[in-house]
Amino acid sequence: MKQRIGIDYDFLFHALPGNYLVMQADDPDFTIVEVSDSLCDVVGIDRSDMLNKPLTAVFPESSNSDSKEGTRSLLASIRRCIASTKPDTVGVIRYDVQDADGQFMRRLWRTTHFPVVRRGKVSGVILSTQEVTEAFDHDEYTRQRLEYLEHLVLINKSKDEFISVASHQLRTPATGVKQYLAMLLDNLFGALNDEQRDLVQRAYDSNERQLKIVTDLLKVAQVDSGKLVLHTEPVDVNMLTHSVLQEFASVFKQRSQSLEFRGTKQPAIVEIDKDIIRMVIENLVDNASKYTDLDGRLVVSVRQNKSEVDIAIKDEGVGIPKERRGMLFEKFSRIHNRLSTKVGGTGLGLYWAKKSVELHGGNIVYEPARPRGSVFTIKLMKNVNIFTPNKQEGRV
């Protein structure tokens, strides 16, 4: 009979090569519960000064804008890992480390987060990181490559700023045109004959589509630049979802579609930005209706457990081919099918929705419905430390 070998897991954790720490997943401050000796050596912080302390307290944010962006990327990766229950990797980011004198030292890292899953729930997150500062500083090719990437980031930021400014400038006159057309349709300047009303109505509809494109561009530019500020409060997601569906009642009736809402028995309370999540729900419900045939059926469900609240929107629509599902949440991506030419759109809605939910520490996932159709599920974490950059900025 073979003798079972006893394993000292604490010793094994510290003996493994590499830099690791373990955080509590259900703690909004991501408290550190374990850390490897090698990581302590790299950052120059004693193990006793790291254990049982929040991640951002041990590694405070420096005033450098690149380091702040690194902080945002790191926290977003942790939340994606928790929401998806899958590993999540951050590219090379700047995350400065504070020395004993309180001075910040420039550091570059490659980091991956791994979920610790027990009974289907993420109880912890393992942060595995490699410092690459020295490699970037001493390798000429690598340094030039980093400078090139930083140049691309700068160009991308400039692009986002241009889109934001241009969208603002376009929206103001377009809104004015909409108001004048609405006044004509309301007969404020005299009654219109049928031909005139038809032409004005067409102009009004075209203006609405223009405003929709401008608004989508503005929202995406804002979320890409990290300027989307979340104004959070405790919200009953069950009631919020029901309210959205009530507003869509006339749309479902017009399209001869039936709707079934399955809510929770108890309030499903989550700390969220009510307006943002409302727009996300509206986006997914509108898509589900548009891509479902007349006389089709939709089912919207709200479910909750101790750690999260899920909003599932199921349709009996045309579905999404397996080979195209990887494009679902990409920017400007539109998947062509027999209804897409009638529906129209910018291909930005799902991209914006997913980014906005990720800012809440959640996720949006897709799965095919049976026997046909699609299910989009918004996953919102109940206990999450929501990072809201640039609090002085406004929203769209």
What pLDDT is attached to residue 208? 82
What pLDDT is attached to residue 150? 59
User: Please, are residues 168 and 208 in contact by the beta-carbon 8 Å criterion?
Assistant: no
What pLDDT is attached to residue 105? 72
Dihedral over Cα of 293, 294, 295, 299: its sign: positive
pLDDT tens-place values along the chain, 396 residues long: 444 444 455 665 666 667 888 998 877 788 898 888 888 887 788 888 888 888 878 777 666 666 677 777 788 888 888 877 888 888 777 777 776 666 777 777 788 899 888 777 788 899 888 877 665 555 555 556 656 655 565 666 666 666 666 666 777 788 888 888 999 999 888 899 989 999 999 998 888 877 777 777 777 777 776 667 788 899 999 999 999 999 989 889 888 999 999 999 899 999 999 999 999 999 999 989 988 888 889 999 999 988 899 999 999 887 787 777 777 787 766 666 555 555 556 678 888 899 889 888 889 999 988 888 899 999 998 876 554 444 333 444
Q: What share of the chain is helix, strand, coil (3-state, %, to 5)?
A: 45, 25, 30
What pLDDT is attached to residue 175? 82
Which residues touch 396 (CB under 8 Å, ≥6 apart)? 215, 218, 219, 222, 228
What pLDDT is attached to residue 235? 94
Residue type, 293: D
Burial of 101 (0-12, 13-18, 19+ CB in 10 A): exposed
C-alpha separations of 12 from 9, 115, 331 in Å: 5, 18, 43
Which residues touch 202 (CB under 8 Å, ≥6 apart)? none
What pLDDT is attached to residue 204? 87
Q: How long is the chain?
A: 396
Give the residue from 95, 130, 125, 128 showing the smallest Cα distance to 112.
128
User: Please, are residues 115 and 87 in contact by the beta-carbon 8 Å criterion?
Assistant: yes
Give alpha helix (H) positions in the chain: 9-15, 37-43, 55-58, 65-84, 133-138, 140-185, 194-224, 237-247, 249-254, 274-290, 340-343, 349-359
